[in-house]
C-alpha cells in the first residue's frame, strides 16, 4: 500500500487521505498501470488456453505415429514433423555450435578488443537482427542450388545461421564471467594458453554456455521462414538428410491456411507440441544449467 512519506515538518502526522489530489492520482495511476500490465498478459493467457483447449483433445498415440493427412481425408498425425524438427535442429547445431562456440572462445580469450575481434562481434550483432527469411534465401542460393534438391541439410544450415549469433554472444559472455584469478592460477602452474582455456575456463563456463545453447535450440525449433524453400516439407518419415523433410513449424504454417478441420486441429496439436518442446528447452536452460554455479 502506498503511503506518502511524511513531510519534513517535525511533528506532522503520516496521513493517507484520498481527499489529497496527489494521493488519489497516484492510486488511479497504479490501478491503470496494473490493469494495463494484466492486459498485456492476456494474449499469453489466450494463446496458452487455445493451445490447451484445441491441442490437448487431439493428443493421442495416433498423433505421434501417423503421417499428415492429405486434403479431405480424415485423421492423420504429425509424427514425421516432430522427428523432422529434431533432425533439422541437430543439423543446425552441428553447424552452428562449433562455429559460434569457437568464435566465442576467440573473442573472450584471444581477441580482446583487437580490430578483428571487434569485427567478429559486430558481425554477430548484425546476424542477430537479420530477418529469418534472408537465412532461407542464402541457404537456397548456396545449398539447394549446389545440391540440386531441397534437403534437410539446406534447412539445417539456414536454421543454423540464425543460431550462430545467439551461441556466440552468450558463450562469450559466459567465458568472460570466469574469474581471471582462475586463468592466472592455471598459467602460473605452467599451462599453455590452450590448456588453460580447454581445461579450466571452458569447463567452468560450461553451465552458462549450455544455457545459451538451449536458448538457441529453443529459437531454432520454432523458426519457419528458413525452412520454406530449403527443407520444403515431406509427407513421409525421415529417410535421409539429402531429401526434403517435415517440420512442426512448416506443418503449422501449411495447415493454418487449410479449410479442412482435421488439418487445422493438427496445426493446433503441432503448436502445442512445439511450444512444449520450446518451453522444455527454456526451462532446461534456466534451471538445470543455471543451478550449477561456479564452485
Minimum Å distance from CB 10 to other proteins?
14
**Closest residue by Cα to residue 232 from 146, 167, 153, 115:** 153
Q: Does 94 bind other proteins (CB under 8 A)?
A: no
Asked if 11 is part of the footprint of other proteins (rule: CB under 8 A), the reply reads no
Asked if residue 4 binds other proteins (CB under 8 A), the reply is: yes
Q: Which is nearer to other proteins, 60 or 221 (CB)?
A: 221
Cα distances (Å, whole numbers) of residue 54 to 94, 198, 204, 262: 35, 49, 44, 11
Return the residue matching grid coordinates 517440420. Answer: 247
**Residues 36-65 within binding reach of other proteins (CB under 8 A):** 36-37, 39-41, 43-44, 46-47, 50-51
Does 8 contact other proteins by CB under 8 A?
Answer: yes
Rounded distance, CA 87 to CA 160, Å?
12
Interface of this chain with other proteins, residues 199 to 238, rule: CB under 8 A: 199, 203-204, 206-207, 210, 218, 221-225, 228-229, 232-238
DSSP 81: H
Between 60 and 74, CB nearer to other proteins: 74
* Minimum CB–partner distance for residue 198 and other proteins (Å): 7
Degrees, nearest 5: CA angle 271-95-125: 80
The minimum distance between CB 17 and other proteins, in angstroms, equals 13
Q: List Cα–Cα distances, 27 to 18, 41, 95, 210, in angstroms.
A: 9, 21, 54, 44
Amino acid at each position: 500500500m502506498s503511503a506518502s512519506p511524511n513531510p519534513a515538518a517535525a511533528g506532522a502526522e503520516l496521513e493517507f487521505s484520498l481527499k489529497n489530489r496527489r494521493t488519489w492520482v497516484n492510486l488511479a495511476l497504479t490501478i491503470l498501470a496494473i490493469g494495463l500490465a494484466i492486459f498485456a498478459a492476456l494474449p499469453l493467457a489466450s494463446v496458452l488456453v487455445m493451445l490447451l483447449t484445441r491441442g490437448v483433445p487431439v493428443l493421442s498415440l495416433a498423433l505421434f505415429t501417423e503421417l499428415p493427412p492429405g486434403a479431405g481425408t480424415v485423421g492423420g498425425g504429425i509424427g514425421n514433423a516432430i522427428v523432422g524438427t529434431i533432425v533439422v535442429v541437430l543439423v543446425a547445431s552441428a553447424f552452428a555450435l562449433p562455429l559460434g562456440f569457437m568464435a566465442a572462445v576467440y573473442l573472450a580469450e584471444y581477441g580482446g578488443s583487437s580490430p578483428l575481434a571487434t569485427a567478429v562481434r559486430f558481425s554477430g550483432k548484425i546476424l542477430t537482427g537479420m530477418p529469418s527469411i534472408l537465412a532461407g534465401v542464402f541457404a537456397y542460393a548456396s545449398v539447394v542450388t549446389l545440391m540440386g534438391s531441397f534437403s534437410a541439410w539446406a534447412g539445417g544450415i539456414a536454421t543454423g545461421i540464425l543460431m550462430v549469433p545467439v551461441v556466440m554472444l552468450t558463450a562469450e559472455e559466459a567465458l568472460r564471467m570466469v574469474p581471471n584469478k582462475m586463468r592466472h592460477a592455471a598459467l602460473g602452474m605452467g599451462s599453455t594458453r590452450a590448456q588453460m582455456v580447454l581445461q579450466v575456463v571452458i569447463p567452468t563456463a560450461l553451465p552458462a554456455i549450455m544455457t545459451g545453447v538451449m536458448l538457441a535450440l529453443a529459437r531454432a525449433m520454432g523458426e519457419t521462414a528458413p525452412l520454406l524453400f530449403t527443407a520444403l516439407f515431406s509427407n513421409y518419415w525421415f529417410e535421409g538428410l539429402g531429401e526434403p523433410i517435415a517440420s512442426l513449424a512448416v506443418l503449422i504454417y501449411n495447415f493454418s491456411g487449410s479449410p479442412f478441420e482435421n488439418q487445422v486441429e493438427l496445426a493446433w496439436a503441432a503448436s502445442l507440441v512445439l511450444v512444449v518442446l520450446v518451453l522444455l528447452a527454456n526451462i532446461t536452460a534456466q534451471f538445470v544449467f543455471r543451478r550449477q554455479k561456479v564452485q
